[in-house]
Amino acid sequence: MSTDALLIRDAVKRQRDVETVSGVNLTLKPGERVALLGHNGAGKTTLIRMILGLTRIDGGSISVFGATPGDASARCWTAYLPEAVAFHKSLTGREQLGLFAKLAGEARTAADTLLERVGLSEAADRRIGTWSKGMRQRLGLAQVLLGRPRLALLDEPTSGLDPISRYDFYSIVDDLVAEGAAVLVSSHALTELEARTDRIAILRKGRLVTEDSLAGLRDRARLPIRLIVTTIDGESDQVATRLGGAQVNCRGVELSCDAGEKMRQLAQITELGGLIEDVDVVPPTLEDLYRHFATGEDAR
Amino acid sequence: MIVRVLALANVELRIAIRNRWIAIASALMLLFALALTFGGSAPTGALGVDLLTVSVASMTTLSVYLVPLLALLLAFDAIAGENERGGLALLLTYPVSRSEVLFGKCLAHVMALSLAISLGFGLSGLAAWAIGGAGPESLLALAWLSVSAVVLGTTFLAIGYALSALARSPGAAAGLAITVWVVFVVLYDLGLLGALVYDSGGTFTRHVFPWLLAANPADAFRLFNLAGSDQLAATTGLNGASAAMPPWAATASLFAWPILGLALARLALRRIEP
């Protein structure tokens, strides 16, 4: 049996002559956490549906611990959190999770334990129709944890969650990883929490444009650093012309430079002495990094 | 397999109870059955049969229209609606087969239908018996009517699942379901009637028509219930058609249809990419 949790080789999906996923290669080892990033329509959900065996593969191969997607054994090992979790609104949370527990071959008590773990034990006997979106999302997460999955596929799991819920969510994902599961999280934006992954894979128009650790991506992108200069009142146009930056308002000037030129720029700013009130140095954010790779602004 | 089918059926039955389907369908069946039993009691004297015998004939005709409609209403959303919500995709990532999903839903819906039918017919049978308008023979006919109505309902549940799996949306599935109901229950008989008039007692009337009648599950149900008893046949005038055919034909058709329908539904379900 293969030791890779997930092995994708040259996977292709065609939808009416358009390749929505083309030539994707990706490997996940047990205990590994990978973020799958891309715009809406980049092919993230299609790729996840292919891994689940919900949609046919038109080329290449995918294996889950050596099994074909959709096989009984692959389905036993895989857990899925869909992007829009839609449970039946007239069932209670306990009934819905109890059904999934039965299908996963677990006891009903496993469902009760999990409801407690995601903080839903109080609402568990109310109908899902009365729940908030965050609660439904947590129920979705609870069903992921059923049956001790070895590969978890989470499709935009934190969209619509408040920051606290997001944090809780990722701490549960941490537990999953600690138990040795491989986790693939898809997202359309990179937040600090999602960056806590081993690797980041970025999809653009169905192709995998890059796959690296966060530090590796930073090195490769070589994005400029921004310097935000605050001047004394009314002097920003003079400062802007002398430093060669852009005037933001009557007290602000913005400059950008490569990482290597930062100190020289700072020295220039210091020379202006009394005209300057403050300087902020802003390294490229995760969002900049993501935009750089996902929109193809790089000239690789 | 049984555990998963029962778990699915359990949840589906709760949904049918909570969305009031069972309550509404039972009330509807009871209302019509009581109305037919006590409102339609006029011809009993002329035919020399008891109250319930006449009302079983009326209830048969009622069931031909009402039971397929109730079954299709229950079934049309079962696959298409679940798929639209995204529930089917999630369900099928679990180690559960499509057949198990189909059987689970079907089991729950057959139970819901049985409950509505036995409540409606059972209570009116009881009422007729209480006022002395029912004998052992007519009570037996009522029991057979209830059983065969469940079988008829199962056929249309299965057809409903097939349509639900073929349609791309619940709205389209509803449209298809209504079309199927009109074709099987109304247009088919009208077509046969037209052919009979045109043929005016020729080969078609004597050799083809009875078989075509038995091939339609709704007509097979009618034949099964009315031709089974001479007394009932006398009240409806259907004995002409059943005389030209071996007695097992309608029964075989009635009981074969649910199996055929479920096979169709299973095939349609295979094509779905949730």
Altogether, the residues listed in chain B come to a count of 274
Mean pLDDT over residues B250-259, rounded? 94
Same domain flag for A51 and A198: yes
- The Cα of B47 is separated from the nearest Cα of chain A by a number of Å equal to 50
Over residues A8-27, the pLDDT tens digits come to 999 999 988 888 999 999 99
B93, A79: Cβ pair inside 8 Å? yes
Q: Are residues A140 and A249 in the same domain?
A: no
- pLDDT, position B94: 94
CATH number, domain containing residue A235: 3.30.70.1650
Tell me which chain B residue has its CA closest to the CA of residue A52.
B93
Q: Is residue A229 part of a domain?
A: yes
Residue A297 inside a domain? The answer is no
* Residue A98 included in any domain: yes
**Beta-ladder partners of A27:** A7
- CA of A76 to nearest chain B CA: how many angstroms apart? 6
The predicted-structure confidence for B92-137, as pLDDT tens digits, reads as follows 999 999 999 999 999 999 999 999 999 999 998 898 888 887 888 8
Q: Which residues pair with A184 in a beta bridge?
A: A34, A153
Confidence of residue A193 (pLDDT cuts 50, 70, 90): low
For the record, the structure tokens of B114 come out as: 């049985």
Is residue A171 domain-shared with residue A46, that is, in the same domain?
A: yes
Which of A81, A85, A80, A82 is CA-nearest to residue A128?
Answer: A85
pLDDT-derived band of residue A293, with 50, 70 and 90 as boundaries?
confident
One-character DSSP codes across B171-224: HHHHHHHHHHHIIIIIIHHHHHHHHHHHHSSSHIIIIIHHHHHHHSHHHHHHHH
Mean pLDDT over B147-164 rounds to 97
Q: Is residue A86 part of a domain?
A: yes
Residue B109 identity? H
**Exposed/middle/buried for B201, CB within 10 Å: 0-12, 13-18, 19+?**
exposed
Given an 8 Å threshold on Cβ–Cβ distance, is B86 in contact with A85? yes
- The tokens for B69 are 């409609």
B274 in reach of chain A (CB within 8 A) = yes
Please state, in angstroms and rounded to a whole number, the distance separating the CA atoms of residues B50 and B207.
34
Kindly give, in sequence order, each residue whose CB lies less than 8 Å from that of residue B211, ignoring residues fewer than 6 positions away.
B245, B249
> For B134, which DSSP code?
-
Instruction: Tell me whether residue A84 is in a domain.
Output: yes
| Residue B86 CA from chain centroid, whole number | 30
Most confident of A76-85, B72-81, B203-212: B72-81
Is A172 inside a domain boundary?
Answer: yes
State how far the Cα of B30 lies from the Cα of B38, in Å rounded to an integer.
Answer: 12
Higher pLDDT, B265 or A227: B265
Choose among A80, A90, A103: nearest Cβ to B7.
A103
Q: Running DSSP on this structure, what letter comes out for residue A85?
A: -
Q: Is residue A299 part of a domain?
A: no
Domain chopping of chain B, boundaries: 2-270
Checking B170-176 for CB contacts under 8 A at 24+ apart, the result is B170/B76, B170/B77, B170/B80, B170/B81, B170/B84, B172/B80, B173/B76, B173/B77, B173/B79, B173/B80, B173/B81, B174/B76, B174/B77, B176/B76
> Length of chain A, please?
300
What tens digit of pLDDT does each residue of B59-100 get?
A: 898 899 999 999 999 999 999 999 998 899 999 999 999 999
SS3 (DSSP) at A66: coil
Residue B228 confidence (pLDDT) above 70: no
Q: A52, B93: Cβ pair inside 8 Å?
A: yes
Instruction: Find which of B93, B98, B270 to mutate to test the A interface (most A CBs within 10 Å of its CB).
Output: B93
Task: Enumerate the H helices of chain B as residue ranges.
Answer: 2-18, 21-39, 44-47, 51-85, 87-91, 98-130, 136-166, 170-181, 188-199, 203, 209-215, 217-226, 230-236, 239-243, 248-270
Q: Are residues A237 and A89 in the same domain?
A: no
Per-residue pLDDT band at A1 (split at 50, 70, 90): very low
Domain identity same for A211 and A235:
no
**Looking at the structure, do residues A79 and A188 belong to the same domain, yes or no?**
yes
Structure tokens at A287: 């969002």
B1 in reach of chain A (CB within 8 A): no
| Rounded mean pLDDT, A34-51 | 91
Domain termination residue (choose one: A173, A202, A219): A219
- Determine the residue among A14, A50, A54 to mutate to test chain B binding: the one whose Cβ has the most chain B Cβ atoms within 10 Å: A54
CATH number of the domain at A15, please.
3.40.50.300
Helix (H, G, I), strand (E, B) or coil at A296: coil
First and final C-alpha spacing in chain A: 37
- Of B94, A287, B68, give the one whose Cα is nearest residue A295: A287
Amino acid occupying residue A59: G
* B94/A104 Cβ within 8 A: yes
Q: Could A87 and B87 be called an inter-chain contact, meaning their C-beta atoms sit closer than 8 Å?
A: yes
Interchain contact, B18 vs A90, CB within 8 Å = yes
pLDDT of residue A75: 93
Same domain, residue pair A181 and A235: no
Helices (H) and strands (E) counted in chain A, each on its own, are 10, 13
Helix (H, G, I), strand (E, B) or coil at A291: helix
Within 10 Å of residue A219's Cβ, how many Cβ atoms? 11
Domain range for A98 is 6-219
Q: Are B223 and B214 in contact (CB under 8 A)?
A: yes
In angstroms and rounded to an integer, the radius of gyration of the C-alpha atoms of chain A is 24
Q: Which of B4, B10, B95 sits opposite A75 (nearest CB)?
A: B95
- Are residues A270 and A182 located together in one domain of the fold? no
Contact check, Cβ <8 Å, A102/B7: yes
**List of residues 6+ apart from B1 with CB closer than 8 A:** B97, B100
What single-letter DSSP state applies at residue A6? E
Cβ pair B95:A90 closer than 8 A: no
d(CA B168, CA A216): 45
What the block records as the tokens of A115 is: 């409801």
**Which residue out of A16, A87, A88 would a mutagenesis test of the B interface target, given it has the greatest number of B Cβ atoms within 10 Å?**
A88
Domain boundary among A165, A199, A219: A219
Do A198 and A229 sit in the same domain of this protein?
no
pLDDT for the residue numbered B161: 97
Dihedral of the CA atoms B90, B96, B102, B106 (nearest 10)?
Answer: -100
Query: Which chain A residue shows the shortest CA-CA distance from B89?
Result: A54
Buried b (16+ CB within 10 A) or exposed e, A202-214: bbbbbebbbbbeb
Position B257 scores a pLDDT of: 96
Q: Are residues A276 and A199 in the same domain?
A: no
Question: Is the CB of residue B7 less than 8 Å away from at least one CB of chain A?
Answer: yes
Which among B10, B89, B93 has CB closest to A75?
B93
**CB proximity B94 to A under 8 Å:** yes
Name the minimum distance, in Å, from the CA of A102 to any CA of chain B. 7
Instruction: Say yes or no: A15 and A72 in one domain.
Output: yes
Angle at CA of residue B158, ends A84 and B75, nearest 5°:
45
What is the count of structural domains for chain A? Answer: 2
- Chain B residues 19-48 with CB within 8 Å of chain A: 19
Per the CB < 8 A criterion, the answer to whether A258 and A234 are in contact is no
A171 in a structural domain: yes
Percent of chain B with pLDDT strictly greater than 70: 90
Secondary structure letter of residue A58 according to DSSP:
-
- End position of a domain, from candidates A203, A219, A235: A219
